[in-house]
């Protein structure tokens, strides 16, 4: 077998972090946009401007839909809100007239607030139900625009705001909107390729793992909804100016569908794809003018085609490197010596203690008065027959379930029941029985997600690409690469995680957990599905991690691994302790042998 580190073909290293190749397609689109005025007429200025304005909205919405995975289908509402706010302020219907740029800024602030209000249901609702609430909001906004005649002009409408020279000509306004579109691209890319963007994808594809790494979903989503709402309303102001006159009819459901489908055609988790999707969908009705009346039907067909033929959208079509074959005879060879470089934190002296912990599911007492001490620098094995409560114990410690009774303490501090997102900050990391990785992200990005809470830059700093954000990225990238070296997956760093073998996913999870420099590491059946060689290497890795001061709680069915590396073993049966002691004691414990190990 070839050690992964020796495989040259798997060094397919064009990543989100190698900036220039990733920038080229955007520069290409920008150059084409700059050439357009010289090769076309005013009609195309209108189409080009419209595409740029739509993209300002879609660039923000893409973070909500494509990255966070929330089906906000009624975003035309925020376009409408921005259009009316800008127009009303600029026209001076309510207050003295506000200059257009001031009106745009105020409209963005209003959009940000309403972006959060529309987004709030996403904290609890997903998919269809959330989509319906956004649609409901779209209807409400249109109805208000119709009914509030004194301000909005009702069905008659209102004049859109006007820009002054040099932006008051078709091509002048076009250049201005291309400029805004470029800024929107930059802002959304800054977030997408920051720890916040990775956290969004983690929430979308592996939310339980995201919580375990300390990612706070509500805080992150509020920031994203603020940004997307502001961008949509800003686009609304530009749209009103482009239309010169707006009525509620200008904001059709078709527009909402266009924004949404542009992202689906583009592909989730991509910026370039949805940008191309927006351009295509804006131009399509123009070059197929006779079909304009059929646009909703066309969108529906297009959507079906995407789902059936290319579910990954344009981004997947352009992802050439993921089509290159990977070497099939890969072996995972951890470089344990590297641990001293990546686990530098001073070891804790605290013990993780469970006392009388109880958790019930209906009538099932999954854990029934459990006492457990996981000491720093030791490996504590937790074994028992299927359904004996091992995973539930891990879930209670990691806050995924709130215990119904008993206490869990870390040294003298009681761990609050539930609240899994707070465990990472307390130094507790975990892996999962079924690996929870982000298939569409690279191996490196998956591991970087583990260090999300280590980042220091705020959301605003990442948005504006300020130095602290770059420091975070450099630090996280270097740490994650080093961590991948330790677990033996360095050569696969830039490969999409969904191309990896099951055993490799298990090692990714360990690398991700280690990014927290945890005091305690909870491992749920890390050897399941591994070959005997891999189990031996895994055992050596776990032992080395514990010897650097981390307390390990190891749930495992491979008795040999447990007896080889554990310092203490607890055997569960029906949620209660059947036996506890050293591996030597457990190996010969009569009841354990008859109930679990076999005669």
Ligand X SMILES: Nc1ncnc2c1ncn2[C@@H]1O[C@H](COP(=O)(O)OP(=O)(O)OP(=O)(O)O)[C@@H](O)[C@H]1O
CB of 205 to ligand X, least distance (A): 21
What is the closest distance, in whole angstroms, from the C-beta atom of residue 510 to ligand X in the complex? 19
Stretch that binds ligand X, among 313-321, 326-334, 382-390, 421-429 (CB under 6 A): 382-390
Q: Compute the least distance from the CB of residue 523 to ligand X, in Å.
A: 13
d(CA 534, CA 517): 23
Nearer residue to ligand X within complex by CB, 13 or 433? 433
Q: Which of 290, 386, 467, 598 binds ligand X (CB under 6 A)?
A: 386
Shortest spacing between CB 354 and ligand X, in angstroms? 14
CA atoms within 13 A on the CB side of 350: 19
Among 86, 223, 241, 392, binds ligand X (CB under 6 A): 392
In whole angstroms, the minimum distance from the beta carbon of 497 to ligand X comes to: 23
φ/ψ of 366, rounded to 5, equals: -65, -40
Size, binding site for ligand X by CB under 6 A: 12
Task: Tell me if residue 267 falls in helix, strand or coil.
Answer: coil
The DSSP 8-state label assigned to residue 148 in this structure reads: -
388 binds ligand X (CB under 6 A): yes
Peptide bond into 337 cis (omega under 30): no
- The stretch among 369-377, 381-389, 419-427, 470-478 that binds ligand X (CB under 6 A) is 381-389
Closer to ligand X by Cβ: residue 499 or 576: 576
Helix (H, G, I), strand (E, B) or coil at 433: coil
Q: Which stretch binds ligand X (CB under 6 A): 241-249, 271-279, 361-369, 528-536?
A: 361-369
Is 420 near ligand X (CB under 6 A)? no
Which of residues 1, 147, 291, 364 is near ligand X by CB under 6 A? Answer: 364
Nearer to ligand X (CB atom), residue 391 or residue 409: 391
The C-alpha angle 152, 158, 159, rounded to 5 degrees, equals: 145
Q: Give the binding range for ligand X (CB under 6 A) out of 54-62, 313-321, 389-397, 489-497.
A: 389-397
Here the contacts of 560-564 (C-beta below 8 Å, separation 24 or greater) are 560/535, 561/527, 561/535, 562/381, 562/383, 563/587, 564/539
Taking the complex as a whole, the smallest distance from the CB of residue 414 to ligand X amounts, in Å, to: 23
Residue 361 makes contact with ligand X by CB under 6 A:
yes
Q: How far is the CB of 525 from ligand X (least distance, A)?
A: 7
What are the strands of the beta sheet with 413-414, ordered from one edge? Answer: 364-374, 352-361, 405-410, 413-414
Give the nearer residue to ligand X in terms of CB position, either 337 or 419.
419
Task: Return the half-sphere exposure (C-beta side, CA atoms, 13 A cut-off) of residue 55.
Answer: 36
Residue 390 contacts ligand X per CB under 6 A: yes
CA distance to 275, 283, 297, 309, per residue, from 301 (Å): 20, 17, 6, 12
List Cα–Cα distances, 375 to 60, 325, 446, 565, in angstroms. 47, 44, 28, 15
Q: CB of 206: closest distance to ligand X in angstroms?
A: 18
Partners of 521 in beta bridges: 429, 552
Q: Which stretch binds ligand X (CB under 6 A): 119-127, 372-380, 387-395, 535-543?
A: 387-395
Instruction: Give the Cα separation of 421 and 301 in Å (integer).
Output: 41
- Burial of residue 21 (CB within 10 Å: 0-12, 13-18, 19+) is exposed
Closest distance of CB 366 from ligand X, Å: 3
Q: Which is nearer to ligand X, 268 or 558 (CB)?
A: 558
CA distances from 557 to 53, 380, 433, 581 (A): 57, 14, 11, 17
Residue 389 as a binder of ligand X (CB under 6 A): the answer is yes
Q: Residue 401 phi/psi, 5° resolution? A: -115, 145
**Contact residue for ligand X among 13, 247, 252, 391 (CB under 6 A):** 391
> Which of residues 199 and 552 has its CB atom nearest to ligand X in the complex?
552
For ligand X, which residue of 366, 484, 565, 586 counts as binding (CB under 6 A)?
366
CA-to-CA distance for 293 and 497, rounded, in angstroms?
43
Which residue lies nearer to ligand X by CB, 190 or 388? 388
Catalog residues that contact ligand X under the rule CB under 6 A: 361, 364, 366, 384, 386-392, 433
């Amino acid at each position: 077998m070839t050690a992964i580190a020796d495989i040259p073909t798997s060094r397919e290293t064009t990543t989100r972090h190698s900036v220039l190749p990733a920038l080229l397609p955007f520069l290409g689109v920008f150059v084409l946009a700059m050439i357009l005025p010289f090769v076309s007429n005013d009609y195309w200025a209108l189409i080009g401007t419209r595409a740029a304005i739509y993209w300002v909205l879609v660039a923000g919405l893409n973070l909500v839909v494509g990255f966070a995975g929330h089906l906000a289908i009624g975003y035309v509402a925020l376009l409408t809100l921005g259009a009316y706010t800008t127009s009303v302020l600029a026209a001076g219907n309510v207050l003295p007239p506000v200059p257009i740029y001031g009106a745009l800024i105020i409209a963005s602030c209003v959009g940000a607030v309403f972006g959060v209000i529309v987004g709030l249901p996403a904290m609890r609702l997903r998919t269809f139900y959330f989509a319906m609430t956004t649609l409901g909001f779209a209807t409400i906004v249109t109805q208000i625009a119709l009914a509030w005649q004194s301000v909005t002009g009702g069905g008659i409408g209102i004049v859109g705001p006007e820009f002054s020279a040099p932006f008051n000509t078709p091509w002048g306004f076009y250049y201005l909107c291309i400029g805004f579109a470029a800024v929107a691209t930059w802002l959304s890319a800054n977030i997408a390729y920051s720890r916040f963007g990775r956290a969004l994808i983690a929430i979308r594809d592996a939310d339980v793992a995201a919580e375990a790494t300390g990612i706070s979903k509500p805080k992150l989503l509020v920031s994203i909804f603020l940004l997307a709402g502001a961008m949509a309303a800003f686009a609304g102001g530009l749209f009103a100016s482009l239309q010169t006159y707006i009525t509620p009819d200008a904001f059709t459901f078709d527009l909402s569908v266009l924004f949404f489908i542009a992202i689906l055609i583009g592909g989730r988790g991509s910026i370039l794809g949805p940008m191309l999707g927006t351009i295509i969908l804006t131009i399509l009705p123009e070059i197929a003018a006779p079909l304009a009346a059929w646009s909703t039907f066309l969108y529906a067909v297009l959507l079906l085609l995407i789902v059936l033929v290319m579910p990954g959208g344009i981004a997947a079509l352009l992802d050439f490197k993921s089509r290159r074959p990977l070497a099939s005879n890969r072996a995972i060879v951890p470089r344990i010596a590297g641990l001293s470089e990546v686990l530098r934190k001073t070891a804790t002296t605290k013990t993780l203690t469970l006392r009388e912990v109880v958790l019930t599911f209906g009538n099932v007492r999954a854990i029934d008065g459990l006492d457990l001490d996981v000491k720093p620098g030791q490996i504590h094995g937790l074994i028992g027959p299927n359904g004996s409560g091992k995973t539930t114990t891990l879930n209670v410690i990691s806050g995924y379930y709130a215990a119904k009774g008993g206490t869990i303490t870390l040294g003298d501090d009681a761990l609050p029941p539930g609240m899994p997102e707070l465990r990472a900050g307390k130094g507790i990391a975990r892996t999962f029985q079924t690996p929870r990785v982000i298939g569409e992200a690279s191996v490196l990005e998956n591991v970087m997600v583990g260090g999300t809470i280590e980042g220091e830059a705020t959301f605003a700093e990442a948005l504006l690409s300020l130095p602290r954000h770059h420091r975070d990225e450099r630090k996280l990238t270097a740490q994650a690469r080093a961590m991948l070296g330790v677990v033996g997956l360095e050569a696969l760093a830039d490969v999409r995680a969904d191309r990896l073998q099951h055993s490799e996913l298990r090692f990714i999870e360990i690398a991700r957990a280690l990014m927290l420099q945890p005091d305690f590491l909870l491992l749920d059946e890390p050897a399941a599905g591994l070959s005997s060689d891999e189990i031996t290497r895994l055992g050596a890795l776990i032992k080395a991690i514990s010897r650097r001061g981390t307390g390990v709680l190891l749930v495992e069915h491979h008795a040999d691994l447990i007896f080889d590396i554990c310092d203490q073993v607890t055997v569960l049966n029906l949620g209660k302790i059947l036996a506890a002691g050293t591996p030597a004691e457990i190996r010969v414990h009569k009841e354990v042998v008859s109930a679990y190990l076999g005669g």
